[in-house]
Structure 1
Amino acid sequence: MSRFRLIKAVLGPLLRVLFRPKIEGADRIPGSGPVILAGNHLTFIDSMILPLVTTRQVFFIGKDEYVTGKSLKGRMMAWFFTGSGMIPVDRDGGRGGVAALMTGRRVLEEGHPFAIYPEGTRSPDGRLYRGRTGIARLALMTGAPVVPFAMIGTDAVQPGGKGLPRIGGGRISVRFGAPLDFSRYEGMDRDRYVLRAVTDEVMSEVMELSGQEYVDVYATKAKAA
């Protein structure tokens, strides 16, 4: 049994007992081939929930600090995240964004699902913020369809994105939307107007799924302010 299957077999039932997740539209994820999963980001455990509610192993970018800890907790986090599909990348350096984009492209060209949070960081207040255009570049460079998704209630279970999840903090829902096809923009992955239009279309779908209020500024700017 692969480590991914082992993680799902052990933690999947525990997730269902503790948080009673409601999963909607998971059958909208194609059963094979490349696909981009694009969703909102409320709290740290979003990246722990997503791999447990999908049938296919989903790969995603994570901070390399999640897998470099030497303590028991650090080693357990590294075991979980690398086993569930996280690819560690140093995103703080000047080339972090390029490394993340190229990693996503490689995963998709190998025929795997790749998950991304277009906001680029966790929401500071539960609202949905402007998406960054890396999601659009990935879709246009690879031709992969985009399946929008929404995490609902994870911020109530883990407020502020820190500390242990609260048992009884509420029910978690994960909603997947219909695949979005952007093949009409083939070859236009360097047109900034097209990239913005594609990104905004994805974020509009995420907003419909999540029911969040939309804020047309980047979350990083909102945090700085």
Structure 2
Amino acid sequence: DCLWALPRMDETLAATAESSSQPFNETKTLREGLVDQAELETTFREGMTLIDRFYNGGNRAKPEALDILVVVLDSVVRRMRNQYSNRQREIADCREKMATIDAAIARIKPKQEQLKAELAAKRARAEELGGDIGDGLGSVKSAIDIAKEALQNAKIATRVAEGKVSAQAQRDARGYDSHGRPLAGREKNLRRNPNGPAARKPGDMLKDVLETRQT
């Protein structure tokens, strides 16, 4: 018994040819979409001729067909082995690259942790300095506001002092105050002409006005 034995192909092909050789009188509506009967018979004959090259009218394959199948299977197995070896080589290369990358990561990781620690410390210091700068800016702004207010007050005080000095100079120039009283040490009219009429005393003009009203 052959391992490549198959079901009887002659019986299957004969039944298929017999069913296909019947006229299509019952399917006139589908006749236009089907191939011609002669073409079908030709196709089946060619197919049977091809099968006869491998089968000897029964269910046993010819020795030549078995040799062909063995050669085909050998080529298939050879390709599968080549593909398997290629895949194994690619897997080994990938694993080698992965090992190289893992080693590089292992070398870099300690330095990375150190840099992370330094970065965290610098960020904390930066936040601290930022707070100090904010406080310093607040103090500077407060000092600027105080200085502006002091400058404004100084300007006002300067104008008041200048007004007082000017009033005092005008009063000293007149020799009497706003009520007509002579200043201290200025009771004597220094502008009086010694050879002229006598100078009026304070209140003389008011006495003359009162006497004039009584008369």
Is TM > 0.5 for Structure 1 vs Structure 2?
A: no
* TM-score (structure 2 length as normaliser): 0.14
Tell me the TM-score normalized by structure 1: 0.13
Report the structure, 1 or 2, having the larger strand content: 1
Higher RCO structure, 1 or 2 (CA under 8 Å, sep 6+): 1
For the pair shown, the structure with the greater C-alpha radius of gyration is: 2
